[in-house]
Amino acid sequence: MTTTLAIANQKGGVAKTTSVASLGAALAELGDAVLLVDLDPQACLTFSLGIDPEDLELSVHHVLTKGLDPTEVVLETDDGVHLLPATIELARAEADLLTRTGREHVVRGMIEDLAAAGSHYDWVLLDCPPSLGVLTVAALTAADGVVVPLQCETLSHRGVGQLLDTVHDVRRFTNRDLEVWGVLPTLFDGRTNHARTVLETISETYDLAVIEPPIPKTIKFAEAPAAGRSILATSRSSKGAKAYREVAVNLRERVRAGAKG
Ligand code: ADP
Ligand code: MG
């Protein structure tokens, strides 16, 4: 069984991409087969996994808008995960797809095509762009669950309602089974009570589960992308790597519990 998660928040800089790379590496360490999909035209995920988008001829853009076979685009990375990479061309996908019938289903179709071609994944993690446009809606349409990375600052809740409205529409029109798995506190400064308070307020206001543990703010994260590896490889025993490993274990538990129930 494959579990597909959209890591979404239309706010930039909340650690969506970092969470996708780190959780992907953590799940792979646990022995799971993982596919990461870069759906952001900025291609930060692709870059952070050691692949220069400028060197790529084929990318997720060609699959989504031109019907290319996704098996021709999947790459293996040093972090033990597979990647459907992005390039800046993906910036055109929003416009290209806007007038296309079935645009909400292009990501789902891509994942189904991979399964039909015999590629098995336990996890597909979708790194969403910082908007609520066509690509994010297509990711939510393909997903079993959505995880919302959130920096616990005073104003960080302003976008959450809008994101949840989009999730509600997706549930209604394109993906009845989409579940909100919860918010993942990122860039968390545990030294202050402020972050905790903001987190509790958001969780109560929107009736959202909190995925534990919070990911601490640490300078180590700044160094990982330049190395082309996730923080799990560059700072194996850092607090941040440890937190992502624990989150990965909890995500697996959730799938296991769901399978039983
Ligand atoms: P998004 O994909 O939501 O735009 P990124 O994952 O690109 O966010 O992260 C934004 C910036 O924050 C990056 O420079 C990243 O290295 C940094 N960052 C992410 N997580 C942490 C953390 N826990 N501590 C410190 N810096 C972090
Ligand atoms: Mg990003």
Domain at 14, CATH number: 3.40.50.300
* Tokens matching residue 216: 């601490």
Residues 241/232, Cβ–Cβ less than 8 Å: yes
User: Mind listing the pLDDT tens digit for each residue in 43-55?
Assistant: 999 999 999 999 9
Measured over the CA atoms of residue 250, residue 150, residue 98 and residue 74, the dihedral's sign is negative
* Residue 160: Cβ within 10 Å count: 19
pLDDT of residue 261: 58
- For the segment 115-139, the average pLDDT, to the nearest whole number, is 97
Q: Is residue 92 pLDDT above 80, yes or no?
A: yes
| Structural domain count of the chain | 1
pLDDT in the model for residue 18: 96
The string of pLDDT tens digits covering residues 181-205 is 999 999 998 788 888 888 888 899 9
Decide: pTM greater than 0.95: yes
Give, to the nearest 10 degrees, the angle between helix 134-142 and helix 106-116. 40
DSSP per-residue codes, the chain: --EEEEE--SSTTSSHHHHHHHHHHHHHHTT--EEEEE--TT-HHHHHTT--GGG-S--HHHHHHH---GGGT-EE-TTS-EEE---GGGGGHHHHHHTSTTGGGHHHHHHHHHHHTT---SEEEEE--SSSSHHHHHHHHH-SEEEEEEE--TTGGGGHHHHHHHHHHHHHHT-TT-EEEEEEEESB-TTSHHHHHHHHHHHHHTT--B-SS--B--THHHHHHHHTS-HHHHTTTSHHHHHHHHHHHHHHHHHHHHHH-
Assess: ipTM above 0.95: yes
Determine the pLDDT at residue 137: 98
Ligand sitting nearest the alpha carbon of 13: 1
- Out of 16, 42, 218, 221, mutate this one to test ligand 1's pocket (max ligand atoms within 8 Å of CB): namely 221
Cα 170 to ligand 1 centre (Å): 27
Q: In this prediction, what percent of the chain has a pLDDT beyond 70?
A: 98
Domain that holds residue 177: 3-260
Query: Distance between CA atoms of 256 and 252, rounded to whole angstroms?
Result: 6
Mean of per-residue pLDDT scores for the chain: 94
Nearest protein CA to atom 11 of ligand 1, as residue: 13
The tens digit of pLDDT for each residue in 251-261 reads: 999 999 987 65
Q: Whose CA is nearest to atom 5 of ligand 1?
A: 15
- Which of 7, 16, 18, 128 for mutating ligand 1's site (highest number of atoms within 8 Å of CB)? 18
pLDDT of residue 26: 97
Q: What percent of the chain has pLDDT over 90?
A: 79
Nearest to 127, CA basis, from 222, 48, 210, 16:
16
Overall average pLDDT of the 243-252 stretch = 98
Number of the ligand 1 atom closest to the C-alpha atom of 14: 3
